[in-house]
Amino acid sequence: MRFYKLTHLMATLVIAWMSISAEPVLADAYQDGLHKAVVAILKKVEVTGLKSGTVLDFADLQGDATELGKYVAQDFADDLVNSANTFQLLDRTNLKQLLKENQMSTDGLVDPKTSQSLGNLIGIDTVLVGTVTPSGANAVHLSVRAVALGTGRIVATSSVDLPLSGTLAELSSHGIVGSPSGNEAKGADKSLADRLTPSSFKLVAKQLLIPQDILGWGQVQYAVENHTGAGLNMWLKSGSYTAGPCSSDLDNEAKGLPLATPNYSPPPPAFVPNAGVVRGTLVFGGQGCNVKDLGRLDPVAVTMSLEIKDGDQLIEVPLSTDGVSVGAFK
């Protein structure tokens, strides 16, 4: 009996020690993963010449800010300050104060109609937005996008899975910021424009093919998956898509989603049902979109913007995917 009690006590102590010792390991994995995402974003942002920005609260898939999203966004901002070479960051507390003084909200920084003027007002040219969503039982998936306020284009993306432990595990159960009942009735009163986020869709891009020299067009095949919970009418916004150094100056050659071109009546939209997929091809030309100018065939990010029809309103949703391989043809 005494031996049993001693064995039980030892087993309890071992389990407790393993639980305690696991926390620092998970904390290190969280910091390492977060730093990886920061470095990936900075590497792309700083080469674009963008000079300053701010990090908004990270949201869930419905676009709602959460306690966990606020926590991870602050850690992301702190790491970014310590890792940046040329990029300057506006402190999140100062951002809120500036917006309050001008009677504005952070929504203006993600609205294409007001983002540039608001950015000029508070002295930034970039905004970093992101989502924190479940990834298995003990992790969350962080996806971050850097958006140039002058153009509304996504210039950099990064994503990573982060382990849930300690404070993160506790915050993950708190739900929406300011909601007394966490996930209760999440997004129920929101309009379609408020509910649509880049995370409502998934952009998949196959290999970018570019010509060996300046004669020829680059192209990449894409697929857009609809995960909004509803069927939608949509277009591809004219001039909105890029693939690394390749820009969309050959709209008339793009295949798949119909193009919405400013100042012209658009063709009928493509109806994409919930959980449906639409496929097409983006075509690129111009200087830099060839092996001779590019020099190296490093993986690139592919970006595009959807335009969603909601009654008389058009809703723009930017999408991006990174790590797309590059190949050459003659």
Tell me: the pLDDT tens digits for 253-268? 678 888 877 666 778 8
CA angle 224, 154, 108 (to 5 degrees): 110
| Through-space distance between the first and last CA atoms of the chain, rounded to whole angstroms | 81
Angstrom distance (rounded) from CA 174 to CA 66: 7
The pLDDT tens digits for 53-105 are 888 888 877 677 788 888 899 899 999 999 999 998 887 776 766 666 556 66
Statement: residue 38 has pLDDT above 90: yes
The pLDDT tens digits for 105-140 are 666 565 666 666 666 667 788 888 888 888 777 888
Identify the CATH homologous superfamily for domain 18-190.
ABC-type transport auxiliary lipoprotein component (3.40.50.10610)
Burial level of 320, CB count in 10 A (0-12/13-18/19+)? Answer: buried
pLDDT of residue 100: 66
Taking the CB of residue 62, how many other CB atoms lie within 10 A of it? 20
pLDDT of residue 35: 93
3-state secondary structure 24-57: HHHHHHHHHHHHHHHHHHHHHHHHCCCCEEEECC
Angstrom distance (rounded) from CA 135 to CA 23: 19
Amino acid identity for residue 271 in this structure: F
Amino acid identity for residue 285 in this structure: G
The pLDDT tens digits for 214-260 are 667 888 999 998 887 778 888 998 888 888 878 776 566 678 888 87
pLDDT of residue 65: 77
Question: Side by side, which strands form the sheet with 88-89?
Answer: 88-89, 52-55, 126-134, 139-148, 154-163
Average pLDDT over residues 27-50: 88
The pLDDT tens digits for 128-179 are 888 888 877 788 888 888 888 888 788 888 888 888 777 777 777 655 444 4
Tell me the pLDDT band of 286, cut-offs 50, 70 and 90: low
Amino acid identity for residue 244 in this structure: G
Tell me the pLDDT band of 187, cut-offs 50, 70 and 90: very low
Tell me the pLDDT band of 21, cut-offs 50, 70 and 90: very low
The tokens for 249 are 């100056």
pLDDT of residue 24: 55
Amino acid identity for residue 40 in this structure: A
The DSSP line for 211-259 is ESSSSS-EEEEEEEEE-SSS-EEEEEETT--EETTEE---GGG-BSSPE
Strands of the chain, DSSP E: 52-55, 88-89, 126-134, 139-148, 154-163, 201-205, 208-211, 218-226, 232-237, 242-243, 246-247, 259-260, 270-272, 277-284, 300-310, 313-324, 326-329
Statement: residue 13 has pLDDT above 60: no
pLDDT of residue 263: 66
CB distance 132 to 27 below 8 Å: no
The pLDDT tens digits for 94-105 are 676 666 655 666
CATH 2.60.40 fits 198-329, yes or no: yes
Q: Which residues contact 134 (CB under 8 A, 6 or more apart)?
A: 140, 141, 172
**Domain range summary for the chain, segments of one domain joined by +:** 18-190, 198-329
pTM exceeds 0.75 for this model: no
| CA proximity to 245, closest of 43, 40, 38, 44 | 44
